[in-house]
Amino acid sequence: MCLLLFAKRRLDMSNSPMTPTPSTRIFSPKMSSAGFNVWEALNMPEKPVAKLSEEQVGICRTAIGHLRGSRSQADKDFDLMAAEKNVGHLNHCQTFIAQHISNQLKNRYVNVLPYDDNRVVLTANGHASDYINASFIMDPVHEKLPVYIATQGPLSSTTNDFWEMILQEHCPVIIMLTQLVDGSEDKCYEYFPSELDMPVRYGRLIVTNKFVGSMANHSIVKRVFEVRMMTDPEAPPHYVLHLEYFEWPDFRVPSTTVSLREMMRSLQFIPVDAGPFVVHCSAGIGRTGTYCVIDHTLRRILNGDLTAVDVCQTLRTFRKQRYGMVQTRDQFRFCYDAVCDELEDMISHSQNSTQHSFKAAVNSR
Would you say residue 256 has pLDDT above 90? yes
182 SS3 class: strand
The whole-number average pLDDT for the span 204-227 is: 94
The whole-number average pLDDT for the span 303-319 is: 95
Asked if residues 267 and 48 have their Cβ atoms less than 8 Å apart, the reply is no
Active site annotation includes 292: no
CA gap 280, 248 in Å, rounded: 12
Give the pLDDT confidence score for residue 49 in this predicted structure. 64
Give the pLDDT confidence score for residue 44 in this predicted structure. 60
Would you say residue 313 has pLDDT above 70? yes
CA gap 194, 85 in Å, rounded: 38
31 vs 117 pLDDT, higher one: 117
CA gap 287, 324 in Å, rounded: 11
DSSP character string of 112-171? --B-TTTB---SSSSSS----SEEEE--SS-TTS--EEEEPPPPTTTHHHHHHHHHHTT-
C-alpha dist (Å) from residue 217 to 40, 220, 241, 247, 262 = 21, 8, 19, 11, 10
Asked if residues 244 and 221 have their Cβ atoms less than 8 Å apart, the reply is yes
CA gap 217, 119 in Å, rounded: 36
Burial of 55 (0-12, 13-18, 19+ CB in 10 A): exposed
DSSP character string of 234-249? TSPPEEEEEEEE-S--
- Residue ranges and CATH numbers for the domains of the chain are 34-42+53-352 (3.90.190.10)
Rounding to the nearest 10 degrees, give the CA dihedral for residues 333, 63, 146, 283.
Answer: 0
353: Cα within 13 Å, side-chain hemisphere: 13
C-alpha dist (Å) from residue 148 to 173, 273, 327 = 10, 11, 18
Q: What is the mean pLDDT of the chain?
A: 84
Instruction: Point out the least confidently predicted range of 23-27, 64-68, 312-316.
Output: 23-27
Would you say residue 130 has pLDDT above 90? yes
- Cβ-based neighbours of 54, under 8 Å, separated by 6 or more: none
CA gap 174, 277 in Å, rounded: 6
Query: Residue 239's pLDDT band (boundaries 50, 70, 90)?
Result: very high
325 SS3 class: coil
Would you say residue 360 has pLDDT above 60? no
Give the pLDDT confidence score for residue 80 in this predicted structure. 87
Instruction: Point out the least confidently predicted range of 119-123, 220-224, 355-359.
Output: 355-359
C-alpha dist (Å) from residue 158 to 107, 153, 244 = 9, 9, 19
The whole-number average pLDDT for the span 298-306 is: 95
- pTM for this prediction: 0.87
Burial of 331 (0-12, 13-18, 19+ CB in 10 A): buried
Give the pLDDT confidence score for residue 82 in this predicted structure. 80
In the set 281, 292, 312, 335, the catalytic residue is: 281
358: Cα within 13 Å, side-chain hemisphere: 6
pLDDT digits 0-9 by tens, 144-181: 899 999 999 999 999 999 999 999 999 999 999 999 99
Instruction: Point out the least confidently predicted range of 46-60, 142-156, 181-195, 221-235.
Output: 46-60
CA gap 15, 64 in Å, rounded: 51
Give the pLDDT confidence score for residue 37 in this predicted structure. 80
Q: Is the dihedral of CA 268, 270, 276, 281 positive or negative?
A: negative
